Structure 1
C-alpha cells in the first residue's frame, strides 16, 4: 500500500488553486455571501419583542386612566397607535393586523379607584404569534401588578399605616448577557451557521465537477491516493473559509457590537477545526452525488436539519433524547456551544473540550467514510 506523499498532495492543492482562480464566481460567493447573510440575518433574526402595536379604548377619559396608559407606553413594550371607541373597532384593528394588543379601560375606572373598590382592565391579545402574545401578557401583568402595588401603598399611607413591606423579595442577577439582548445570543450562532453552509456547498461540487468536466479520468491514471486527493481539494477552501470567517467575525464584533469575552486565539483554532469538518462533509457529499444539481440538493437537505437539531433555533435540552442524539452527528451542534461559550461566557478549553472532541471525531469519521467511498475508477 502506497504511503501518503507530500508532493502528490501539493500537486492536488496546486491544481485546485488554479481551478479556483478560473472560477471567480465561487470566490465571490465564498467571500461576499457570508457578509451579506450575516448583515441580513443579523437584523432579521431578532427575538426581542418591543413596541407592540396597541390600540386603546379608554372609556374613563380621566387623568387616572391616562396615567395607566402612560405606564404601559413607558415600558417601551407597548406602542399606542390608535384610540378606539367600540369593541367593533378593536376587533377590526386586530383582524386586519394593524394592532396586536387592545387595552379596554372601563368607564368607572377612576370612580372605583377613588372609592378603594377593585377594578378590572381588559386586554385583548392577538395570539397568532405566540412570542408576541407571551411577551404582551407577561409584561402587562407586571405593569398592572406594579400599579396595583403603588395604589395599595398610597391607600395605606392615607390611613397612616406607613409603607407596605412585602414578606418575600426576589433579587435576580443575569449572567453573561445582563441586558438579555437576543442579538448577543444570535450573532455567534449565525457566524457558525453561515460558515457551515457556505463552505459545505463550495466543496460539495468539488469531485462532481471533475466528473462533469471529464477530468476525473486524468486523476484516475495518476498515483494520487484518495487521502491525498481529499486533503488536497480541502486545503485551498480552508484558507478561503478562514478569510470569510475573519470578515464575519469582525463584522459581528464591531458592526453589531457583540463582545468577545474569551480567547480570540482559541476561537480561531477551533474555527479552523470546524471549517475542516464542514469542508470534509462537502467532499463526502461530492463522493455520493453524480451531478452538481444532486450535490446542491444533498447539501440543502443537510442544512435544514442542522439548523433545527443543532440548537440554533430551539434549545436542545427540550428536545426528545433521540432527536438530541441525531443532533450529535451535526458539527454545528458542537461549534455553536464553542462560539457561545467563548463569546458570551469567556470560557476556555477546559470547559469546551467535549465539544472540541465531538468536532474532531466527526472530521475523522467523515473523512474515513469519504475515502472508503471514493474509488479511483469510472463507475
Structure 2
C-alpha cells in the first residue's frame, strides 16, 4: 500500500465534497434539522386538544367541575354544544379530538359517589393514539366534592380496544407513498438527464407542461397499486377496516400521490445527479414524518412547527386516511384537507414547470 497515492485519493475526495455544495449542506443540515425537530418541535406532553363541551346539567357545581378540567390545559373547550349528535359530527369531521359531557344527573352522581357511574364523561377520537393517551391523564382528575379516583369516564370512539394497527396502518399509507413517489420521480427524471434523454425530449415540440405531466402519470398507477397492497395486507394481517367510502379513500390517495410526485419533479429540477436527488428527497422525508402527526402528537408541537406541518402534504393526507378509514368521514366533511393537498399540487407543479421552461431557454 502506497500512502502517498492513498493520500492523493483522500485529497481528491475532499475537494470533490467541497465543490458539491448540496452534499456539504446535507452533512451539516441533517444533524441540525434533527436536533431542532426533536429538541424544539417534538413534545410528548400534549396540551390544548381541540374539544367540545356538552353541559346537560348546567349548574354551579357542573360549571365548577368544567373549570377544574379546563385548568389542566389538556383540553381547549372551544365548542359549546346543545345536543349529543353534534359530538359525533364534529369528531367525524376531525374538528375536535374530544368532547367533555356533563350528564343531566351530575349532582346526583356526585352525591352517590358510585365508582361505576362517574359524574363526567370524556369522549375521545380513538383513531389517534396520542389523543387516547392524553385523555387518560384526565381519567383520575379530582373533582370538587368527589373522593373517588375515576372522576372522569373515558370513552374511545372508533377504536375502543385501543389497537395500535388501526392507528398505524392508515398513516403508513401516506408514509410509504411519500418515500416511494418522491424518490422514484426525482431519481427517474435525473437519470433521464444523465443519460441524455431529457435533452432529446426538450428538443421535440413537447411543451413543458406536457413533458412534466407525461413524466408523472405512469407513477400515479404505481402509487394506486401500492395503496391497494397496503390495504389488503392491513386487512388480512391486522383486520384494519375501511369504514368509509373506498372510492373516496382512493380519490384522496390519488390527490396525495399527485402532490408527492410533483414534489419529486420539483426536486429533480434542483438536482444534477441521482445521489443529489436522493439527498434532497430524504431531506423532505424527515420533517414530514416527524411533524405530520404520524409518530408524535401534532397538538404537542409549538405553533410555529404546526404551521410548517400544515404546508406539508403528508399532514393532510394522514387526517384524510384516518378520517375515511376509521371515522367513516366523507371527503366533503374534510374538504379543507383535500383543498390543501390540491393547492400544494398546483403550486409545486407550477414551480416545476417553470424550472423546466428555464432549461428550454
Q: In the superposition, relative to structure 1, how do residues 261 and 297 fare at CA in structure 2: closer, same or farther (>3 Å)?
A: same
Q: In the superposition, relative to structure 1, how do residues 168 and 369 fare at CA in structure 2: closer, same or farther (>3 Å)?
A: closer
Q: In the superposition, relative to structure 1, how do residues 254 and 323 fare at CA in structure 2: closer, same or farther (>3 Å)?
A: same
1:268 aligns with 2:265: no
Q: Secondary structure at the match of 1:205?
A: helix
1:215 aligns with 2:215: no
**Any idea what the Cα deviations from partners look like across 1:297-349, whole Å, max 9, x if unmatched?**
00011101111111111121211111111111210000000011111111112
Alpha-carbon distance between aligned partners in 2 of 1:166 and 1:316, rounded to the nearest angstrom:
32
Alignment of 1:316-355 (within 5 A): 316-355=298-337
Q: In the superposition, relative to structure 1, how do residues 221 and 166 fare at CA in structure 2: closer, same or farther (>3 Å)?
A: closer
Alpha-carbon distance between aligned partners in 2 of 1:303 and 1:332, rounded to the nearest angstrom:
10
Alignment of 1:177-192 (within 5 A): 177-192=159-174
Alignment of 1:218-297 (within 5 A): 218-297=200-279
Q: Secondary structure at the match of 1:171?
A: strand
Alpha-carbon distance between aligned partners in 2 of 1:377 and 1:196, rounded to the nearest angstrom:
27
Q: Secondary structure at the match of 2:240?
A: coil
**Any idea what the Cα deviations from partners look like across 1:69-115, whole Å, max 9, x if unmatched?**
xxxxxxxxxxxxxxxxxxxxxxxxxxxxxxxxxxxxxxxxxxxxxxx
1:304 paired residue number: 286
1:358 paired residue number: 340
Q: In the superposition, relative to structure 1, how do residues 178 and 321 fare at CA in structure 2: closer, same or farther (>3 Å)?
A: same
Alpha-carbon distance between aligned partners in 2 of 1:180 and 1:173, rounded to the nearest angstrom:
11
How far is the alpha carbon of 1:376 from its aligned partner? 6.1
Q: How many equivalent residue pairs? A: 220
1:63 paired residue number: none
2:16 paired residue number: none
Q: Unpaired segments of 5 or more residues in structure 1?
A: 1-134, 143-164
Q: In the superposition, relative to structure 1, how do residues 172 and 286 fare at CA in structure 2: closer, same or farther (>3 Å)?
A: same
Q: Unpaired segments of 5 or more residues in structure 2?
A: 1-132, 141-146
Q: TM-score, normalised by structure 1?
A: 0.55
Q: In the superposition, relative to structure 1, how do residues 213 and 378 fare at CA in structure 2: closer, same or farther (>3 Å)?
A: farther
Alignment of 1:1-379 (within 5 A): 170-375=152-357, 377=359
Q: In the superposition, relative to structure 1, how do residues 296 and 173 fare at CA in structure 2: closer, same or farther (>3 Å)?
A: same
Question: 1:210–1:216: 8 Å Cα contact kept in structure 2?
Answer: yes
Larger radius of gyration: 1
Q: In the superposition, relative to structure 1, how do residues 272 and 166 fare at CA in structure 2: closer, same or farther (>3 Å)?
A: closer
**Any idea what the Cα deviations from partners look like across 1:252-311, whole Å, max 9, x if unmatched?**
122211111111111011111111110111111111100000000000111011111111
Q: In the superposition, relative to structure 1, how do residues 375 and 166 fare at CA in structure 2: closer, same or farther (>3 Å)?
A: closer
Q: Secondary structure at the match of 1:346?
A: coil
Q: In the superposition, relative to structure 1, how do residues 174 and 299 fare at CA in structure 2: closer, same or farther (>3 Å)?
A: same
Q: In the superposition, relative to structure 1, how do residues 351 and 214 fare at CA in structure 2: closer, same or farther (>3 Å)?
A: same
Q: What CA RMSD, in Å, does the superposition of the two structures yield over aligned residues? A: 2.5
